[in-house]
Structure 1
Amino acid sequence: MNYSTGAATAVAPANPWAIVPPLGNLDAYISAVNRMPLLTPEEEQRFARELRDENKVEAAGKLVLSHLRLVVSISRQYLGYGLPHGDLIQEGNVGLMKAVKRFDPEQGVRLVSYAMYWIKAEIHEYILKNWRMVKVATTKSQRKLFFNLRSMKQAFKADSAMDEAGVTHRETLSAGQVETMAERLNVKPEEVLEMEMRMAGGDVLLDPSPSDDGEQAFGPIAYLADVAHEPTAMIESHQRDVLASDGIATALQALDDRSRRIVEERWLKVNDDGSGGMTLHELAAEYHVSAERIRQIESAAMKKMKKALAEYA
C-alpha cells in the first residue's frame, strides 16, 4: 500500500532516524516525516519481534517513525470537521503508538494495515469529544452513523443540481435521501433524521458574556431559569417561612404579656374586614398611658424580638 503523502524533497541524511523537525512548525514536521525511510517487510518483522520479545524501545521508535507519514495522510481526511490539523496528527500518533505496542508480527499482516484502525479510532474519538461541547454520538452505532452520514451527505450535495450562479440551495436532506442513507447504513430513517438534527445544531451559551459595546447579550438562561425552583431561592423561602411561623412564636414568648399584646395588636392581628389591630391611642387608653409610651414599649419589644429571631435562625 502506498501511503506516502509526498515524494522526498531532499537527500536523506546519513542517519535518517535522527531527523528532529523544528518545534511549532507543522509544515516542517510533515516535510520531515515524509523523508523518514520506509521499512522493508523483513526489517518490520525484525523490529516487531525485538519489541515483543526483548521490549526494545529503539525498535518501537523505528516502527513508529517509519509510519508517521501514514498518520499525516489519514489525518488529512478529517480536516473538514474544523479541528486543527496538528491536533488530528497528534491524536493519530497516539493511535499509531498503541498499534505498535499491540502489533503481533506472527499474524502475517503489515503494520500499516493494522495501524490504520488504531489511528482512525483515536482521531474519531478526538473529533467526537471536541467537535461540539455536547457529544453528538455516544453509542457505537451513533458514532458509526455520525462519520458515515457526514460523508454521504457531502456526496449528495456534490451530485445535487446547481443554479446558474453555481450555488447549491439544498442544505437539508430530502425524504428520498434519508431513505437511501438508512438503507445503505442499515439503520432506521428516524435514526438518520435524529443524527442529522444533532449535526445541524450548534452549541449555544446559556449565559453569554456582554458584547464589546457593553450591552448584555441575550441567552437561553433568560427564559430557561425557573426562579421559583432555584435551589438558593427555595432555601431562602423555606427559611422565611420558618421564621414567620415558629421563629416569631418563639420570639413572642420572650416578651412580657403587655409587650406581646401590643406587638400582636399592632402587627399580627387582622380583622375580618381586612383592617389591622388597635392603634397607639386605643392601646394607650386601655393601659392608661400616653401614646408615646405605647410606642416606646413597642419599639423595645421589636428590638427584643429581633434579637430572639437572630438567635433562632
Structure 2
Amino acid sequence: MTSTAMTLSHASNPKTNALTAMPSPVGNLDAYIRAVQQYPMLTEQEEQNLARRLRDEDDLDAARQLIVSHLRLVVSTARQYLGYGLPHADLIQEGNIGLMKAVKRFDPERGVRLVSFAMHWIKAEIHEYVLKNWRLVKVATTKAQRKLFFNLRSMKGNASHLDQAATESIATQLNVSEADVREMNMRLSGRDIALDPGPDVSDDDSYAPIDYLADDTMEPTAILEGRDRDNLQSTGLQHALGQLDDRSRHIVQSRWLADDSGATLQDLADEYGISAERVRQIEAKALKSLRSYLVPA
C-alpha cells in the first residue's frame, strides 16, 4: 500500500518525475545542454533529504538526483574555460567528475548548499584537465603558478604585451613576483611546435626543432666509433708497442708519447751512439709497424 501511494505521488509530481527519470541519450553537445537545462533545481529541504539518504542509506538514486539537478552548473562553469581552446564537451565531462566527487563528500549538516560546495570540486577537475592538455609541456606546477595561469589571461584582457605598469599591478594583486608574471605571459603567448613535421612537409627551407635538437654524439655509429678510438688509444696502442723491439719502442715513446716536448733525433742518436739519420729510419719503420698493428682485422 505504501509503495503504491509513493508511486502515485511521484507520478503526480512533474518535478519529481524529471529528477527520477533516467537521462536519455543525446546526439550532440547542444542537445545535451538543452537536456540538462530541463532538470529543475532542488529546494534546500529536498537537497538535504537526498543527501541524508545518500549518507545514511548509501542510496545511489538519491546521489543521481543530486547530480542531475546540478548538471547545468557544470555546463555554466565549463563555459568560462573555453578561451583555452579545449573542447567544451571535454571540459563539461571533467566538471561532471568533480560534481560527482562533491556529491560523494557533501555533508547536509554543515548548513551549506551543494551548489556552493560543488563549485570547488568542479573547478578543481577542470583546472587539472586544462593544465594537462593545454600544452604538451606543463605550464604551471606550483599553487602560485596555477593561480597566475588562470587569472593572467582575464587580467591582461586583449593586450598582447604587458608593459611594466601592468606587470607590477598583476604581480601585486596576485602576490607573485614580476618575473613570474613575465614568464607566465611568455608561456601563454607561446605555442606548441612539432618536433618533427613529418614527411608531408615539402618545404626544403623548413627548419624544425629536430634539426637542431638532435644530439649526434648519441648516434649509435658515433658511439661505436668512439669506443674503438678509445680502445686504440689505450689497450690497442699498448699492445702494438709491445710488438716492437726495445730500441724501436723507446724511440717512439721518447719522440711521440713523452709528457714533455719529446726527444729530438740527435738526443736519441747520442743515447744509442748512432747517427740521427739512423734514428729516423728506425722511427719510420716502427711507426709503419704500429699502423699495421692498430688497423682492425
TM above 0.5, yes or no, is yes
Could you list the per-position Cα deviations for residues 67-99 of structure 1 after superposition, in whole angstroms to 9, with x for gaps in the alignment? 111100111111111000000000000100110
- Counterpart residue number, 2:168: 179
Cα offset for 1:193?
A: 1.1
Q: Which residue of 1 aligns with 2:153?
A: 150
State the match for 2:45 in structure 1: 42
Matched, 1:227 2:230: no
TM-aligned CA distance change 1:104 to 1:51, over 3 Å? same
Task: Measure, in 2, the Cα distance between the counterparts of 1:63 and 1:13.
Answer: 12
Q: What is the SS of the residue equivalent to 2:81? A: helix
1:71 aligns to what?
A: 74
Equivalenced residues, count: 254
Task: Return the letter of the residue paired with 1:189.
Answer: E
Is residue 50–residue 66 contact of structure 2 (8 Å, CA) maintained in 1?
yes
Change in CA separation of 1:248 and 1:15 when aligned onto 2, cut-off 3 Å? same
- Measure, in 2, the Cα distance between the counterparts of 1:198 and 1:142: 11
For residues 223 and 198 of structure 1, the distance between their equivalents in structure 2, rounded to whole angstroms, comes to 21
Q: In the alignment, which residue of structure 2 is the partner of 1:203?
A: 192
CA–CA separation in structure 2 for the residues paired with 1:241 and 1:182: 55
Is residue 2:45 matched to residue 1:56?
Answer: no
Pairwise CA distance, 1:245: 4.7
Post-superposition offset of 1:217:
4.1
Cα distance in structure 2, aligned partners of 1:47 and 1:20: 18
* Cα distance change of structure 1 residues 97 and 14 upon mapping to structure 2, 3 Å threshold: closer
Given that 2:140 and 2:146 are in contact with CA atoms closer than 8 Å, whether structure 1 keeps it comes out as yes
Determine the structure 1 residue equivalent to 2:121: 118
Cα separation, 1, equivalents of 2:167 and 2:207: 35
Match of 1:213 among 180, 193, 202: 202
Equivalent residue for 1:129?
A: 132
Q: Report the Cα distance in structure 2 between the residues aligned to 1:242 and 1:171, rounded to whole angstroms.
A: 57
- 1:8 equivalent in structure 2: none
Counterpart secondary structure, 2:185: helix
Distance 1:148 1:57 in 2: 37
Structure 2: give runs of 5+ residues left out of the alignment.
Answer: 1-13, 246-264, 266-276
Report the counterpart of residue 164 of structure 1 in structure 2. Answer: none
Q: Which runs of 5+ in 1 are unaligned?
A: 1-10, 158-169, 258-271, 284-297, 308-313
1:75–1:92: 8 Å Cα contact kept in structure 2? yes
Superposed CA RMSD in Å reads 3.8
Question: Offset at 1:153?
Answer: 1.0
- Could you tell me how far apart the structure 2 residues matched to 1:98 and 1:192 are? 33
CA contact (8 A) 1:22 1:28 kept: no
Distance 2:133 2:115 in 1: 27
Aligned mates of 1:151, 1:306 — CA distance in 2? 67
CA distance in structure 2 between the partners assigned to 1:60 and 1:82 by the alignment? 32
Task: Tell me how far apart the structure 2 counterparts of residues 242 and 209 of structure 1 sit (CA, whole Å).
Answer: 38
Matched with 2:93 is: 90
**Whole-angstrom distance in 1 between the partners of 2:35 and 2:16:** 11
Q: How does 1:256-267 map to 2 (within 5 A)?
A: none
Kept after mapping to 1: 8 A contact 2:19/2:69: no
Cα contact 1:30–1:72 (8 A) shared by 2: yes
Q: Distance in 2 between matches of 1:30 and 1:187?
A: 38
State the secondary structure of the residue aligned to 2:80. Answer: helix
Distance 1:202 1:99 in 2: 34
Structure 1 residues 252, 84: CA separation in 2 closer, same or farther (over 3 Å shift)? Answer: same
Q: Percent of aligned positions with the same letter in both sequences? A: 56
Q: Distance in 1 between matches of 2:99 and 2:80?
A: 16
Distance apart, 1:134 and its partner CA: 0.6
- SS class of match (1:196): helix
* Distance of 2:22 and 2:63 partners within structure 1: 16
Question: Residues 212 and 223 from structure 1, CA distance in 2 versus in 1: closer, same or farther, beyond 3 angstroms?
Answer: closer
